[in-house]
Chains A and B, each alone.
Chain A
Amino acid sequence: MVAVVLFIALFLAVLVLLVVVGYLFSPRRPSETKERRFEAGGPPYGPVQRRLLMQYFGYVYLVTVVEAAVGLALVAVLTADAGRAALAPLAAALVVAIAAVVAVVWRYFKLLADVRRWG
């Protein structure tokens, strides 16, 4: 526990110290231009030139669902009892879960991966 606290304290201290040193000892010549946004980074205006494809939200939706399933599988695997007898139900559950994930992805993959449908 001492080691963890030491690590966190030292790591954060070094990180903050470097910033403070830079802030205190670097030469400073402030100007209005420096404090502005970088080049063309301002908020966009005028007619939209290119939209973000709606297709991508499908992937984000997919990951929120699938990740939860994989997380459950991880917990199940790590808390399972040792031995071949305990392996059978675990294996069956895993195979079903992964098969379900693969089936869903397989079914909608063509639709998701085809940019032309979404552009």
Chain B
Amino acid sequence: MDFPSPLSGDLVAALVFPGVLGIFGFLVVAIWLERKLVARVQWRYGPLYVSRPLGGLLQPVADLFKLVFSELVLPRHTNRLLFAATPILLFFAEGLPVVFIAAAPGVVMAPHSYGLAIAVVLVLLVAVLMVAMAWTEADKFTYIGAMREILLTAAYEVPLLLAALAMFLLYGTADPHKVVEVQSGLWGVLLNPLAFVVYLVALLMATTRFPFEIPEAEPEVVLGPYTEYGSTLFIYAFGANYVKLYVLSLLGAVLFLGGWLPAAGVLGVLITLAKMGVFVLPAMLVRAIYPRYRIDQALRIGWGQLLALSAAAVLWSLLAAWIW
């Protein structure tokens, strides 16, 4: 490892990337990027006046300060402790899967031979906390949002698991290091493009990006599961989906795009970061492209085309493993 001496790989992972700094940094960059990209597609400027030389990159930071120092209102009808705790737990749980994902050889907090599988399962578990948060708020809109969240989870969970299964079958392991090692010849996206497509669509569903932005559909249910929140708690409730996007892009970069290959060390971390863009950029851009599906349409996609595609991906992997 070529990190400065007091920092070992796992400490870098915990503190910088993919740990704490990475999560909060991604929050800032992703929100800015989304606003900027959508604005440019719509022939606008987007955020500009805060830090003009950087193209308004510090606008989300300014928003963050504004939100942190705005009044924290705990509604009377809720359990005040739970009301404050659930968004924190949600945000924390969304970030937890990065513990098991490696960003470069050795840059992983908990090396585990089933690491990526555990990460996938942790990602899927978070929907429970989202529902808990909506339930604590005790509001009609949050109930409806939670119900939609459950149904959307029902739509993407099986395809996402099957896509992961297809890749694990192909690699024969879920250890992030070995998975990337296997991809040194051909990347996973070329080994099994079907699984990649399924993963990309399931990622859009899981992070409720645009065609599937059903739980927080603004014209219908205000802000869905986080209607009641303000101040810092709003950052957590709202930012949790961005953290999920971060985790799933990192997982996707390792599973499908060869992770840190062809480098290692600091350069490897940067390469992983760049490869995450393959998942992040479309997820940001879809806001400018798509209208919103109805919930039954999303379910039909999930259990129709997407399930068929993911079953085909598993069969493809079986065939590939047979030949290889």
**Interface, chain A (partner B; CB < 8 A):** 1-4, 6-8, 10-12, 14-16, 18-19, 21-23, 25-30, 34-44, 52-53, 55-56, 59-60, 62-63, 66-67, 70-71, 73-74, 77-78, 80, 82, 84, 87, 91, 94-95, 98, 101-102, 105, 109, 112-113, 115
Q: What separation, in Å, do the CA atoms of A38 and B223 have in the docked complex?
A: 11
Determine the residue in chain B with the shortest Cβ distance to A3.
B10
Is B154 touching A62 in the complex (CB atoms < 8 A)?
Answer: yes
Other-chain contact of A94, B150, B299, B318 (Cβ < 8 Å): B318
Is A98 touching B109 in the complex (CB atoms < 8 A)?
Answer: no
B101-114 interface code vs A (CB 8 A; 1 in, 0 out)? 00000000110001
Q: Which of B20, B138, B155 has the most CB of A within 10 A?
A: B20
Other-chain contact of B23, A11, A25, A55 (Cβ < 8 Å): A11
Q: What separation, in Å, do the CA atoms of A7 and B96 have in the docked complex?
A: 9
List of B residues within 8 angstroms of A26 by Cβ: 68-72, 231
B154-194 interface code vs A (CB 8 A; 1 in, 0 out)? 11011001101100110011100000000000000000000
Question: From DSSP, what is the main secondary structure of chain B's interface residues?
Answer: helix
Q: What separation, in Å, do the CA atoms of A38 and B69 have in the docked complex?
A: 21
Q: What are 17 residue pairs bridging A and B, where the CB atoms are less than 8 Å apart in the complex?
A: A1-B110, A6-B15, A7-B14, A11-B20, A18-B68, A19-B84, A19-B233, A21-B68, A21-B69, A22-B72, A36-B77, A55-B296, A60-B151, A63-B158, A74-B161, A78-B168, A115-B296
Q: What is the number of residues of chain B that contact chain A, defined by CB distance less than 8 Å?
A: 76
Is B75 touching A105 in the complex (CB atoms < 8 A)?
Answer: no
B282-320 interface code vs A (CB 8 A; 1 in, 0 out)? 000000000000011001100110011001001100100
> Chain A nearest CB: distance from B139 CB in Å?
4
Other-chain contact of A15, B92, B155, B307, B318 (Cβ < 8 Å): B92
Is A39 touching B222 in the complex (CB atoms < 8 A)?
Answer: yes
List of A residues within 8 angstroms of B88 by Cβ: 12, 15-16, 19
List of B residues within 8 angstroms of A12 by Cβ: 88, 92
Is A63 touching B154 in the complex (CB atoms < 8 A)?
Answer: yes
Determine the residue in chain A with the shortest Cβ distance to B307.
A105
Other-chain contact of A112, B75, B172, B303 (Cβ < 8 Å): B303
Is B154 touching A113 in the complex (CB atoms < 8 A)?
Answer: no
Is B232 touching A22 in the complex (CB atoms < 8 A)?
Answer: yes
Binds A, one of B140-148, B246-254, B270-278: B140-148
Q: For window 226-242 of chain B, which residues contact chain A by CB distance below 8 Å?
A: 227-228, 231-233, 235-236
> Chain A nearest CB: distance from B76 CB in Å?
4
Other-chain contact of B141, A7, A11, A38, A66 (Cβ < 8 Å): A38
Task: Please list the 6 inter-chain residue pairs (A to B) with the smallest Cβ-Cβ separation, ordered nearest first.
Answer: A3-B10, A41-B139, A7-B14, A63-B154, A3-B14, A35-B76
Is B24 touching A14 in the complex (CB atoms < 8 A)?
Answer: yes
List of A residues within 8 angstroms of B75 by Cβ: 35-37
Contacts A41-B141, A55-B296 hold; do A91 and B318 have CB atoms under 8 A apart?
A: yes
Is A77 touching B169 in the complex (CB atoms < 8 A)?
Answer: yes
B19 contacts the other chain (CB 8 A): yes
> Chain A nearest CB: distance from B8 CB in Å?
8
Q: What separation, in Å, do the CA atoms of A12 and B162 have in the docked complex?
A: 32
Q: What separation, in Å, do the CA atoms of A41 and B168 have in the docked complex?
A: 45
Q: What separation, in Å, do the CA atoms of A15 and B92 have in the docked complex?
A: 8
Is B92 touching A59 in the complex (CB atoms < 8 A)?
Answer: no
Is B117 touching A19 in the complex (CB atoms < 8 A)?
Answer: no
List of B residues within 8 angstroms of A2 by Cβ: 10-11
Determine the residue in chain B with the shortest Cβ distance to A97.
B314
B73 contacts the other chain (CB 8 A): yes
List of B residues within 8 angstroms of A66 by Cβ: 158
Other-chain contact of B140, A16, A34, A44, A87 (Cβ < 8 Å): A44
Q: What separation, in Å, do the CA atoms of A67 and B162 have in the docked complex?
A: 9
Contacts A63-B157, A71-B161 hold; do A27 and B307 have CB atoms under 8 A apart?
A: no
Contacts A11-B92, A41-B228, A87-B322 hold; do A78 and B300 have CB atoms under 8 A apart?
A: no
